[in-house]
Amino acid sequence: MSNRTTMTEFLLLGFSEIQELQILHFVVFLVLYLATLMGNLVIITAIALNHHLDSPMCFFLMNLSILDLGSISVTIPKSMANSLMNTRVISYSGCITQVFLLLFFASADFALLTIMAYDRYIAICQPLHYKTVMNRRACVQMVAIAWICSILYSALNTGNTFALTFCGGNVVNQFFCEIPQLLKLTCSDSYLSESGVIVFSVCLVLSCFFLIIVSYVQIFKTVLRIPSEQGRRKAFSTCLPHLIMISLFLFPGTFAYLKPISSSTSGIDLVASILYSVVPPMMNPIIYSIRNKEIKAALWKMIGLRPFTKNKMSAFSP
């Protein structure tokens, strides 16, 4: 491939050359994908159909489930189709689409997790002002800003990547198109371009991470001043799902995108990509539905167990 204009397709990483293992990969990814699809759709449906679930956290959780559905649908179906049809090919335009959508959903996800940290801060540290600060209009505006900024960020990074010249082959050492792996295939001097993107990304990530840290420092200081042990436990339990999801998403994603490209190995890259692209969308519904008694009540109601929920709610409450 002499230059970018002649590049018509890429070859993605295959999990195995053995047909039986390819089928196994297809089945495993199919189960993970259907479980993620079902879990997030149930959360979205439960919140949409129950008008009493109109709290800001439920609104953010529904948006998070929508983003998770989009995120996992960008990568998993193509990988499953390739395994089933014994091929590794993805078109040039398909690769651009994957990069753009994955960056959009990932950055919007992180922005939303930052907003949710702010929501927890207001709820615990300034409870008397919660309804005023986190009103419906403010919540919609924050989510809209997160989505718009994520689209711009994704467009900037995608355009910057595919403006480079590819002449280092067309084999992407990943099961989906990912910018760090694509940069390995460029033969143009991508140092300045790569450095600029990394610096910009680091600034955004650190800004969101700083807001999350500040929010939780204030939360922990407030919680520790609660005289009741039960009150402290309840306050901490409302923050636990959010902290788990930030950890599952942030650390593998940061490792995948912000490490030096020359130091990466395909095995570690593969594990990191699965941890940030597959695990969080699958775990979000489980973690939040287990820890949120309102969501649990709505789910029990959906499957026709409302009397059981009323009688046993205390057994499931944090």
Domain with 88 in it: what CATH number? 1.20.1070.10
Identify which has the larger pLDDT, 26 or 18.
Answer: 26
pLDDT (tens digit per residue) in 218-238: 888 888 887 877 777 777 777
| Nearest Cα to Cα of residue 78 among 181, 169, 4, 178 | 178
pLDDT band at 275 (very low <50, low <70, confident <90, very high): confident
More confident call, 235 vs 318 = 235
Is 4 part of any domain? no
Q: Name the strand (E) or helix (H) holding 77.
A: helix 56-84
5 assigned to some structural domain:
no
Is residue 8 domain-resident? no
* Average pLDDT value for residue range 290-311: 61
* pLDDT range class, residue 317, cuts 50, 70, 90: very low
pLDDT attached to residue 4: 44
Q: Is 11 inside any structural domain?
A: no
Q: What residue numbers bound the domain in which 299 lies?
A: 18-312
Is residue 165 assigned to a domain?
Answer: yes
CA 107-36-268 angle, 5° bins: 60
Eight-state DSSP code of residue 11: E
Domain-located, residue 318: no
Q: What is the mean pLDDT of the chain?
A: 79
Q: If DSSP codes are grouped into helix, strand and coil, which group holds residue 225?
A: coil
Residue 12: inside a domain: no
Contact 224, 124 (CB under 8 A): no
Regarding predicted confidence, which is higher, 309 or 218? 218
Query: Where is pLDDT greater, at 3 or 163?
Result: 163
For the chain, the domain total comes to 1
**pLDDT at residue 165 tops 50:** yes
